[in-house]
Structure 1
Amino acid sequence: MHHLGFKIKISGLVQGVGFRPFVYELALKLQLLGEVKNDGFGVEILLYCSHKKCLEFIEQLKGNPPPLARIDKIELLECDLKAYNDFCITPSKQSLRTTPMLSDFALCKECKNEFYDPNNKRFHYPFITCTHCGPRFSIIKNLPYDRVNTTMDKFKMCDFCEKEYKNPSNRRFHAQPISCFECKISVHLKNRQGEILFTDENAFIECAKLLKQGNILAIKGMGGFHLMCDAFNEKALEELRIRKNRPKKPFALMCKDIKDVKELAFLNNEEERLISGSLAPIVILKAKKNFALIAPDIDKLGIMLAYTPLHLLIFEYFKGILVATSANLSGESIIKDEDNLRSKLGKVFDYYLDYDREIFNSSDDSIAQLIGNQAMFLRTSRGLNPYYIETNLKSDQTYLALGSELKNQFVIFYQNKILISPYIGDLKSVDVYERFSKLLDFFKKSYDLKFDAVLCDKHPHFLYAKDFKQTFKIQHHYAHFCAAYFEYQEKFIKDEKALGFVWDGTGYGDDGSIWGGEVFVANLKEYERIAHFDDFKLINADIKNIYNLALSVIWHYNLEDLAQDFLAKIPKVKLENLKKIYANSTLKTSSLGRIIDAFGAMVFDLDQSSYEAQIGLMCESFYQKDLNFSYRLYVENGKINFKELILGALRDEKNKAITGMLNGLADFIINYSQNYDFKILLSGGVFQNKTLLEILKAKKLDFFVPLKYPCNDSSIALGQMIHFLNKN
């Protein structure tokens, strides 16, 4: 048999996920000689074997990689090699600048089996983990990802753990967070003053009792604290809403297992796969009945499975379902340490469950829903981000895209890679801005970065752009378009134009007004705004006051006579004052998000929206599939006239009005796009509306909508970066 030398270079997520031991085991199985090591962007394998054996090795490698690995590219080169007499894992020769940092992952099946096995040394150990699961990003302080560079550095490994850690045939080979009862991380139940009441198993037993009694507990998870209470204790739920000042926004739920999820919500096979996979996001599901205190006025629930052994241990003693909402002040970041927890939320929780290992980088739960049979991510954090994408660009430049003010994530381009940060939040809050700065500094230090250019939104008042000198401004909705186009790039011929419907709440327009209901013809280099929703005046900048939005659109279309009943609800003097403000207003918007809010104010008789997308979610629960009825939207001089929507809101009963509105938006997209021979892209927060997308699918429209990168403002930074890289 003729032996040759082969170099196999694999890029993707192949470091810190047990990839080298996997290669080692596979090489032993196929009786191959050579070595494997981490390098630069991935893993390098040197094989001394026949061509046939090498191809067989690559096939098996692709067929069954470790659970957390992601192979993006495999390069095969013939080369001269020394003759090997075994196969070994060699120490890494890599530049720290190119090492990806992995996210945190849910407990894997093997660890879960051991957790429940009374004969296993780690039975009921709340921090059981291996290279296929557990914390990564939340504990890393520096690169390389070695135990000394994580918050595990103060825990000395016992002999048992060390033996597994050093054995390449063990799935705990180089699992940095490894520990067991001998070298354990301790858990403590504490009162509001921070005094330890119970430790380890007793802490869990007592924690379950307190939850059953209706107490609110702050419980330290993987990337921060959750506020938790018994989901079916009405008093606890009412108390949590009052203390957290959260009147209507739905609470996420945590269930022990799929059986519990199925009691609450409808679940198809794809949804089951998503909720129980290694990402374990919060999945938005259709509720089986009305859960008025958990998700007021809507027919959906956000549910996640217990994704850490610590949560599973709580469920060993607590029988039921838990509310699990981020421990934070409204609009602020998730809290990751006990000092902050006690100073900020000391009046919100009754007790808290803490553990000895520090969370270095906080992260939020990721959120997804199913569209057709594909997962659409609405928030990308735990389990997904930081996310690295290799590009074919050959550039020695480093760029930063700051993204948007709301739902912020930033994007860095360095060493021909795009790095997308985890979800950060709304930068209007000082606390979130601090989180943004800390995280940005962390990546800058880790990868030794200096930015050659900084990209930002066009909004003149985005304060976070002022800290950077050379900024390039990119229009908000065009950034939405570019992120969506990038996700489906392989479907387009180079520089091919697409018809983009970019509909959301707010974005600074090229003309200084507020855009949000845009139709573009564009590619990654340039865009043309060919139509937009008829722009109307805003009474003031307070968009939560949706009654004012309703008044604006009524006056915009001169519908006062038809709106008598609606207007009669507002005191006369107040109405006259608002009309004066309206007459003098210069602030205009084409935002479909605001139009939907105005529509909702009339249909639901609501004067305030309590959280973003509230009206959209409420509309989904009143939509009637079998009602073939639609309001007509049409374009006049490039403006989409939506008068019929407002007439319908004033005139028709709730179900008919809502069905007519959603069908009307879908019909508009279908009819308008028939004038153009372009592929259709949909983006912006409005397209998180599952019902609207399902109507379009049912009407057989061919369209692309972001699934992997959120269609909301979280992907603005990605769009900014993609345009900048393509325009240059």
Structure 2
Amino acid sequence: MCHFTYKIRLKGLVQGVGMRPFIYTLALKLGLKGEVFNDGFGVQIKLNASENTLESFLELLRQDLPPLARIDELKITQENFENFLKFRIVNSQQSPKKSPLLSDFNLCLECKKEFYDVKNPRYLYPFITCTHCGPRFSIINNLPYDRKNTSMRHFVMCEFCQNEYENPLNRRFHAQPISCPNCAIPVFLKDKNGAVLACQNEAFKLCAKFLKEGKIVAIKGLGGFHLMCDAFNENALKALRERKNRPLKPFALMCKDIKEARALAHINQDEANLLTSKVAPIVLLKAKKVPDLIAPNVDKIGIFLAYTPLHLLLFEYFKGVLVATSANLSGESIIYEENSLRQKLGEVFDYYLDYEREIINSSDDSIAQIINGKTMYLRTSRALNPRYLSLDFSKRKKPLLALGAELKNEFVIFYENKLLISPYLGDLKSLDVRERFEKLLGFFKELYDLEFEELLCDKHPHFDYVKDFKKCVLYPISHHYAHFCAAYFEAGFKGEILGFIFDGTGYGNDGRIWGGEILKGDLEKYERIGHFESFKLINGDVKNIRNLALSVIFHYDLKEEATEFLSKIPSIKFRNLEKIYENSTLYTSSLGRIIDAFGSIVFDLTHSSYEAQIGLMCEKFYDKKLNLTYNFSFENGIIDFKEAFLGALKDDKTRAVTGFFNGLANCMFELSEGKKVLVSGGVFQNKTLLELLRKKGLDYFVPLEFPCNDSSIALGQMVHFLKCAKD
């Protein structure tokens, strides 16, 4: 006989994931009485149970959680006995809103099976979903996560959907985005002026026809529009590059399934598992043979599989592979509203496929690659962020905001002893991205009733977005130390450790541009014990990589060795650049800029077309069979890279790239003195370099869950400050 009622509170990713029906089924299996409901904190359970039965319940609870669920905190209290007559699911209870939000996920296997089942009521229905998959973050307005608080509130369920929605034993129980062909979300294919050309299934058929004819179609996905075209139609590819002003940056490809992806790229089992995972990110892969217009001058391509039923339905009528690039202007956010699409990209696309369910929160596709058998995320957005982390080392009570970096921005909020990491936002130099930043920050502030008195920011004195928070106390934190701290936190290191922080740009403590730093420290303090030799910049235009190369040539007095390279520069222009260099006070130690300068010489380029272009080109020409190493000497805390540029000026592409990478890896190994080190910064997104370091025997940790690029600067700022905080 039960003499007590146990109250169990679950926090974590426990709403909108099928947790309540799972608990309901579990309680019926064990013959327990009580109730379960959502509240603003998470999920609350009341059970009439003996101590032994409670233990059995908790063991089964932990063993077989729903696919998208994650329990961060489980708290049990014993209360006075309540005489429950049965176990039931009750309506959400209002309380202070603290519960985490889930992101949007890949279509689950059960729904996919039903999608292709001709006997199923949702056969080929483009919005089939359940509590194990589909939209969450993109459709939510408020907490708790109930249909009335989402953009599904405008759609009335039919009787069939209502029965499933209300049945605790059905996996669509309280699946807020539920619908079917009887209460369908309307879909339209429109021309660039907004005129409707076709609806529902006919819209997909006509869309596929236009794609086959070489047209460019903007297609609304979970978090925004993609610009799509036939990946093997040369005229379509040329038109998309010309209209979007994207001459060389590779396009991502969307395939219907893994079989089609294997025809385009070399895919091992780890990469196949990642492509088909619930995250379904864009995965960077070694290309087999794809048109040069997809990935010019590189041997890597980004591929992702159709992750929504809407995309799968399109592939029912379009047989092939699609280019799928974010619908945006260069440097701006992904577009998710119809009016904005037509205003900004009306001259880029020919038609657009739209549906009536509103996207409330936009999100980009996540990007990843497999490194030494492990998944490394390069962009964390759809199906990953927002992300919530519980902390065990902070005593702080007041909310806190870390603004992060100017480029590849993600911000981090601390509240209730946990961290909230925003989805990827982009480069805050763009007014459009700034507006997205403000909208999303405002959304979280209102959702969780937060106000900030103190903010963490980058040390750079000229970041405009920081000035928007005039009433807050600002705590500037070193850019490269923030990189160090984010990696240190993910690795769970204890004690002092050596870190190589190599990237493109970051404000240094001496007022110079850093980016090739060797740091030693922990979450509370650090010292800079070494760096690449600083050299003058001719100007601040980092895309003009020929000027970067010229700066290095002047720095090391290599004009005689660089006769052929310098002959390509008109004499008057050369003399002017030399004068600018002599008067420059702008210095950098950035390895990213050194690599760009190196690439300008090796690949005979004047400008880079996109970030990481030189790194990707280097990966194509690295030869692991070639035994050639340029010397990177280290003396008095300075890494000298002169020999690498002497090699670049005389050797062919393969020899130069191989010598550079081998020399860099050898230098790092020697400086590590055989000890475990951490590596972070955008340079370490280079797969060839990371695999080479492992082959050389360097024992290193590189961030995997949190990008090693600037997206994790806010995380580093936050964990450092909280570790040092006294209150």
- TM-score, normalization: structure 2? 0.97
Q: Which amino acid aligns with 2:583?
A: N
Q: Which amino acid aligns with 2:253?
A: L
Q: Which amino acid aligns with 2:230?
A: D
Which residue number corresponds to residue 608 of structure 2? 609
The answer to whether the 8 Å contact 1:12/1:72 transfers is: yes
Match of 1:486 among 478, 486, 489: 489
The answer to whether the 8 Å contact 2:15/2:145 transfers is: no
Distance in 1 between residues matched to 2:669 and 2:51, nearest whole Å: 53
Structure 2, unaligned stretches of length 5 or more? none
Distance in 1 between residues matched to 2:290 and 2:121, nearest whole Å: 44
> Aligned residues: percent identity?
65
Q: Mapping of 1:50-449 within 5 angstroms?
A: 50-76=50-76, 80-82=80-82, 84-93=84-93, 95-392=95-392, 393-449=394-450
Distance in 2 between residues matched to 1:723 and 1:449, nearest whole Å: 21
Q: Which amino acid aligns with 1:128?
A: I
Distance in 2 between residues matched to 1:351 and 1:96, nearest whole Å: 45
1:6 Cα deviation after fit:
4.1
Which shifted more, 138-147 or 681-690?
138-147
Distance in 2 between residues matched to 1:153 and 1:216, nearest whole Å: 32
1:7 Cα deviation after fit:
4.1
Distance in 2 between residues matched to 1:66 and 1:157, nearest whole Å: 24
Q: Deviations over 1:154-177 (max 9, x none)?
A: 111111111111111111111111
- TM-score, normalization: structure 1? 0.97
SS in 2 for 1:153: helix
Distance in 2 between residues matched to 1:616 and 1:487, nearest whole Å: 25
Q: Which amino acid aligns with 1:512?
A: G
Q: Deviations over 1:586-631 (max 9, x none)?
A: 0000000000000000111111100000000110111111223222
Which residue number corresponds to residue 713 of structure 2? 716
SS in 2 for 1:138: helix
SS in 1 for 2:139: coil
The answer to whether the 8 Å contact 1:403/1:411 transfers is: yes
Which residue number corresponds to residue 457 of structure 1? 458
Which shifted more, 76-85 or 27-36?
76-85
Q: Which amino acid aligns with 1:635?
A: F
Which residue number corresponds to residue 498 of structure 1? 497
Q: Which amino acid aligns with 2:662?
A: N
The answer to whether the 8 Å contact 2:188/2:200 transfers is: yes
Distance in 2 between residues matched to 1:10 and 1:669, nearest whole Å: 45
Which residue number corresponds to residue 477 of structure 1? 480
1:75 Cα deviation after fit:
4.3
Q: Deviations over 1:395-430 (max 9, x none)?
A: 320111111111111111112121011111111111
Distance in 2 between residues matched to 1:430 and 1:221, nearest whole Å: 24
Distance in 1 between residues matched to 2:700 and 2:56, nearest whole Å: 39
Q: Does 1:17 align with 2:14?
A: no
Which shifted more, 372-381 or 625-634?
625-634
1:41 Cα deviation after fit:
3.9
The answer to whether the 8 Å contact 1:96/1:143 transfers is: no
Which shifted more, 148-157 or 329-338?
148-157
Distance in 1 between residues matched to 2:191 and 2:405, nearest whole Å: 39
1:94 Cα deviation after fit:
5.1
Q: Deviations over 1:523-575 (max 9, x none)?
A: 11111011011000000000000000000111111111111111111111111
Q: Deviations over 1:221-278 (max 9, x none)?
A: 1111000000000110011000000000000000001110110111111111111111
1:522 Cα deviation after fit:
1.2
Q: Does 1:577 align with 2:584?
A: no
The answer to whether the 8 Å contact 1:96/1:144 transfers is: no
1:55 Cα deviation after fit:
3.0
SS in 2 for 1:88: strand
Q: Which amino acid aligns with 1:538?
A: L
The answer to whether the 8 Å contact 1:231/1:237 transfers is: yes
Q: Does 1:519 align with 2:522?
A: no
SS in 1 for 2:500: strand
Cα separation, partners in 2 of 1:396 and 1:103, compared to 1, 3 Å: same
Distance in 1 between residues matched to 2:395 and 2:34, nearest whole Å: 31
Q: Which amino acid aligns with 1:600?
A: G
Count of matched residue pairs: 722
SS in 2 for 1:10: strand
Distance in 2 between residues matched to 1:290 and 1:575, nearest whole Å: 39
The answer to whether the 8 Å contact 1:603/1:657 transfers is: yes
Cα separation, partners in 2 of 1:155 and 1:92, compared to 1, 3 Å: closer
Distance in 2 between residues matched to 1:82 and 1:43, nearest whole Å: 19
Distance in 1 between residues matched to 2:7 and 2:439, nearest whole Å: 39
Distance in 2 between residues matched to 1:94 and 1:413, nearest whole Å: 23
The answer to whether the 8 Å contact 1:141/1:149 transfers is: yes
The answer to whether the 8 Å contact 1:4/1:51 transfers is: no
Which residue number corresponds to residue 725 of structure 1? 722
The answer to whether the 8 Å contact 1:539/1:578 transfers is: yes
Distance in 1 between residues matched to 2:104 and 2:420, nearest whole Å: 16
The answer to whether the 8 Å contact 1:8/1:77 transfers is: yes
The answer to whether the 8 Å contact 2:97/2:144 transfers is: no
Cα separation, partners in 2 of 1:5 and 1:618, compared to 1, 3 Å: same
SS in 2 for 1:658: helix
The answer to whether the 8 Å contact 1:403/1:410 transfers is: yes
Q: Which runs of 4+ in 1 moved over 6 A?
A: 1-4
Which residue number corresponds to residue 640 of structure 1? 639
Cα separation, partners in 2 of 1:227 and 1:96, compared to 1, 3 Å: farther
SS in 2 for 1:98: coil
Structure 1, unaligned stretches of length 5 or more? none
SS in 2 for 1:376: strand
Distance in 1 between residues matched to 2:235 and 2:606, nearest whole Å: 27
